[in-house]
């Protein structure tokens, strides 16, 4: 069993901490807010982001970066994508040579268009960086509901070690050498989930959502392959698996946000109502910019950007997607 530090006290980081603690690891959660840390210590529950899930006394709650990670064998970074760089820069002085860092955030860096593992490696070159993604709602992992994810690392022996340490009867972990494909699948499906939610909010049916999901996966795969990912990765847990769960579940904050946008709420109203980070909004512009950079046709992603940032009516966006010139299905990407 290992000493595990979790950087980030949101729903996903907390759920992983609860799971790893239950199966024998010594876990510490780092929170950037002393008020939040005190509340968790007192209530032994994260009432804001993961209500109803016990955080046992054996889990440490820290606000000091050095104390949080100094004794850790494995460090999990579970902060929203837009805060990855600033937090890695903050923790870099306290992370040791060859310390294992497992990123579980899903997104892209907005301005640089970098994948999150690239951002992390730039900030903490001394660490061995892994990516853990897949269809995994925090609300279910925290309750020990059977879940399967995938893990990747440039050093696959490290990925296998984390696999062996993190796997338990209710959390299955597969290794995958395609970190590019895994990260892009996990990030870009959030954009498509916004579209699926908008479809629900507009009152459209299962047919519409199935079309958006299927053609959305074509867009994800096209860009992912252009950037060096493998086609088969997008048919796996970090691709179609994550897309299914994010587009269909009310646990999905991206789908919930899309529903509100489809119902006519503004982006500002939607983000306030969801009260959690909606990664699809943060990723949409980067995804579109990458499609331009790599000359990849991504019409759904383009329309989502128009709705989010240009005030386009969601119904009009769907109608324009439906009225595009007829094409060959082109499943081969």
Question: Which residues form the catalytic set?
Answer: 189
CB 101 within 8 A of CB 128: yes
Residues 6+ apart with CB under 8 A from 235: none
**How far from each other are the two terminal CA atoms of the chain, in whole angstroms?**
43
Q: Whose CA is closest to 53, among 77, 28, 21?
A: 21
Structure token pair of residue 308: 């989010």
Coil, strand, or helix at residue 263? coil
DSSP assignment string, 186-199: HHHHHHHHHHHHHH
d(CA 210, CA 201): 15
CB 181 within 8 A of CB 224: yes
d(CA 30, CA 62): 5
Calculate the CA dihedral of residues 145, 150, 156, 159 and round it to 10 degrees: -30
Listing from the earlier edge strand, what are the strands of the sheet with 3-7? 60-62, 26-30, 3-7, 74-77, 100-103, 128-133, 147-153, 171-175
d(CA 256, CA 269): 12
């Amino acid at each position: 069993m290992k000493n595990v530090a979790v950087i980030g006290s949101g729903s996903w980081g907390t759920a992983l901490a609860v799971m790893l603690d239950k199966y024998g690891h010594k876990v510490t959660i780092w929170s950037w807010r002393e008020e939040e840390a005190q509340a968790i210590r007192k209530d032994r529950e994260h009432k804001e982001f993961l209500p109803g899930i016990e955080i046992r006394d054996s889990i440490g709650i820290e606000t000091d970066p050095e104390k949080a990670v100094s004794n850790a064998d494995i460090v999990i970074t579970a902060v929203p994508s837009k805060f990855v760089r600033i937090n890695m820069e903050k923790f870099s002085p306290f992370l040791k040579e060859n310390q294992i860092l497992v990123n579980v955030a899903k997104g892209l860096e907005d301005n640089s268009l970098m994948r999150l593992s690239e951002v992390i490696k730039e900030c903490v070159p001394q660490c061995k960086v892994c990516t853990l993604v897949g269809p995994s709602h925090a609300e279910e992992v925290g309750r020990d509901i059977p879940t399967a994810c995938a893990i990747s690392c440039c050093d696959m022996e490290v990925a296998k070690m984390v696999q062996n340490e993190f796997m338990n009867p209710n959390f299955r972990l597969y290794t995958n050498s395609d970190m590019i494909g895994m990260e892009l699948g996990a990030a870009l499906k959030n954009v498509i989930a916004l579209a699926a939610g908008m479809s629900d909010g507009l009152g459209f049916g299962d047919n519409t959502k199935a079309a958006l999901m299927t053609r959305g996966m074509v867009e994800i795969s096209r860009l992912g392959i252009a950037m060096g990912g493998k086609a088969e990765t997008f048919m796996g847990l970090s691709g179609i698996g994550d897309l299914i769960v994010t587009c269909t579940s009310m646990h999905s904050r991206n789908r919930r946000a899309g529903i509100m946008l489809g119902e006519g709420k503004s982006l500002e109203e939607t983000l306030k109502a969801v009260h959690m980070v909606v990664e699809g909004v943060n990723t949409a512009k980067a995804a579109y910019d990458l499609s331009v950079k790599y000359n990849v046709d991504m019409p759904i992603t383009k329309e989502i950007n128009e709705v989010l940032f240009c005030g386009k009516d969601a119904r009009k966006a769907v109608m324009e997607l439906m009225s595009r010139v007829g094409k060959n299905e082109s499943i081969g990407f």
